[in-house]
Structure 1
Amino acid sequence: MDYPKSVPGIGLVNGRFVDENPLSGTPGSLIPATWGNSVTQEILGVVQAAGLTPNEASNNQLLGALRSPALFQTAPQFDAGRTAATSEFVQRALGNYANARGISTSTQLTVADVGYAIGLGGNATFTVTLPDAATVPNGATISLHCRNSAPVTVASKTGSQISPQGAYLSSIVMNTGESANFIRESGTWTVYGTASLKYASSFSGMVGNPGYQKYPSGNIDQWGYGTTDANGEVYVTFPISFPTAFVSVVATHVGGDGAMVIMISGSASQQGCRLKVRDAHASVSAGWGVTYFAKGY
């Protein structure tokens, strides 16, 4: 589309139309039929593409066509072309979540769930399986929030595609109140959110007796149980070795005789310590139970 510069004798000035000037006797520019028809057809092409019927009496059909949903289609999800983005496309890609839904039974998620916020409800365990990471583009995101009173397992469809805190796992567990964003990064579902914290080395621990808990500060709590030998003593080995130093231990005799537990001086190390139990009469016995709680870093 351009001015009819190639048509001779139509009176263009600097390639543009001009009006007639009666004072100077200069004629106005002529509009060639071919050019006029071309301009009209250009406009009609837009009007008809929007599904409108051309109406000679209407002066706003071009505006109506440009505002028509038939003319501006929302591109498919994950489209990376250079077509104009509709508000719907921007909302889905960069605004709020595309949609939200809840599930309470074992479910295989699909590519259609990308962009969703999904609540995990119910009161019984079940498994949610993520789409194969190979079927979605980088940056695809699925957000899960667990409000189930029982743990929910989130599993890979194929192999060990789930990566919380740098690990590569085939599944993770989400507990009540935990949330997780699963983002496709280089062939894996990288996990962000509270559900990933328990897989971080700075938060790792062991549930049970004995057990331990690490903290981001570097501090470590450890606990366990032991029974005395004939000398009323027990050497307790910590579940893990303190990386830097042992700090303290608090121990309690499991029984109703008021026996006292102390740590034998010089026995403590990063791996464990020796405890001694004496009752109110300074008597000792084998088989007395002792619980302990140790701190270090």
Structure 2
Amino acid sequence: MADYYTLLTDAGIAYETACKAAGTPIKLSQISVGDGGGAVYNPAATATALKREVWRGPLNALFQDEKNPSWLLAEVTIPPEVGGWYVREAGIWTDTGILYAIVKYPESFKPVLATSGSGKEFYIRSIFETSNAESVTLLIDDTVVKATRAWVQSYVADELAKLDRKQSVRVATTINVVLSGAQMIDGVAAVAGDRVLVKAQTLAKDNGLYVVANGTWARAKDADVSAEVTSGLIVSVEEGTTLANTIWQLITDGVIVLGTTALTFQNVTQGFAPLNSPALLGTPTAPTAPVSNNNQQLATTAFVQRALGNHSSVGGLDASTVLTADAFGQSLIINSANPVNITLPKASSGFNGGTITLLNVSTGTATIVLQGTDYVAGIAANQLVLRTMDSITLSTGAGITWYAENGLVSGALSTAFNGGVRTVLDKFGLGSDAAKIPLITDFSADIKPGLYRAFTLGHPEASIGGPPETSVIGGTSMTVLVGGGYLTSSYKTFLAIINLNANSPTRAYIGHKVTAGEQPIWNEIAQSVHLPYRAKVYYKAAGVYQWTVPANVWKVFAEVRGGGGSGAFGALDTGAGGGGAGGVSNRLVSVTPGSTITVTVGAGGAYVTAANTLGNPGGSSSFGTHCSATGGAGGLVIGGAGAGYGSGGDFNGTLGAGNPPVRNAASNGAIGGAGGGGESIFAAVDTTTLTQPGMGGGGRIGTRSQAGADGSVFITY
């Protein structure tokens, strides 16, 4: 037997046997030292305690020998503050207090500073053999034991190996390789000892970190167990034709079992995208550049939307506000019942072409104020006032200039707006003072771009060269928008909207002329009945009615026709005249929702049956007190009857007088004349009923005359 040794005690062997039978681990927890009773002796397996124990403490470490798996190594460090005795024996104890092994130790003195004048740590390592070393468990108290240098080094190495950031590799594979022997990898001759990132194996479970060997490669020590290979592992590549100076990350998620789980590595050199030709994934973001930028900065979706003319956002203003450069690109909704001032940012704070849109949706006026020497081209200062539902888009030019691009504004704007955008719409019930809009009487003149009004044939101020509208019922107004200067200074384009009476369509024409002094060439582009009205009410039977103005209706267009007179009844030698048609009156009327208006429809004159009898007159029609039309007169025996006439309207006129009798060529006989309005024709006997409101009845001979048609009131809104 060796001079110094470790023996399993009989009690220890019995304990080990019992643990094997029960399938429980052998639990060792403490080590003790003794002085052998004052002398060196040879411990025996029968011992159950040390001869004289001088110190006991927890084991620092207990592990298998790397070369002899059945050997166990037990370590302890005795602290410097205890001692003053010799160590000649040691014992290893189970957690139940059984002396598992006893050690004969070389006689050594353990000094203590308090009595010996010096102190030191005392390190003991004991090696003993067991039949089942893998079943032995070390029970220690981490707060009591003192770590050895070897244990610390081993522990630190193990913990470092578990970190995601690994020691760099020399090269990384780009294709499937044989994991054996020295070889060329990505243009580099990999030799024994080189670390390699293997990431392109056909069987992805074989990917990972390896160390090159002349034989079979082994996984690197910091990545050779599952606990050291986790999702997020990162490793840098030092060399290579294609992968030098790149960084790779393990992106396999979940629990990884090394050698079983497929491992996938991704290049994250530039944060998931290489610097050259990046292939971006997910939803990458970037700063949004000003619309005026003209460089190689990335264009975000926000930049593109602004560049396409969309608003960057919609904001609200409910009080006087001084806008900043952040307002460029915005649509700002003004909502204040009180007057407010909206001060524009300095034109120079934006960029050439930057726009701001303003819309006033409340009852308070909004005055647009300029800063410093800024001005709006073509508009005097303080003339930009937005009233209810007024809007304007302003754009910046160079330096101090703003431009009014488009909008609907009550105040004077620019030559292009011509001071009357709202008033032009008076015919549609949206404004007032339409007469203030400049009048076009000759389209061949040099007409500047802007908004105008004009008239069709039949009006005293009928326009020469206007659209080919031939209505002669008093003439019809039209609204004309003129643009020009796109090709030459004399080039002009025209958009004409013609509003006839309520029974006729609104017509739209496009015209153009190239040379100054010539008349435009016109083309009709659209017809839309009764624009811009939403509904209509038609009263055409004689009587008195009460009409209630619908909700949200503030303007109505009323056309009133008086009843037609009946024709006269005459003899063959004298004939009989036709009855006169009723008058007509049209008016755009301001109304109040919910109010009631009396509507009166005049009756047509009744027919007559007695010979040589005058016809009966038609009754008057009216729309409240706003406008009215008298009925046509009854037909005369020897002549036509007079027509009724309108009053109170924007347009007042008649539908036509009755016609006199028609004599034969020999002038020795006659028949009845046609009634006013043109629907009836002369005939010896005619008992048909007229269908058009206000038409006069025809004069007749024989049985009876023709009755006049009832009048009508036609309301559109």
Name which structure has the greater RCO, CA cutoff 8 Å, separation 6+.
1
**Larger Rg, first or second structure (1 or 2):** 2
TM-score by length of 2: 0.22
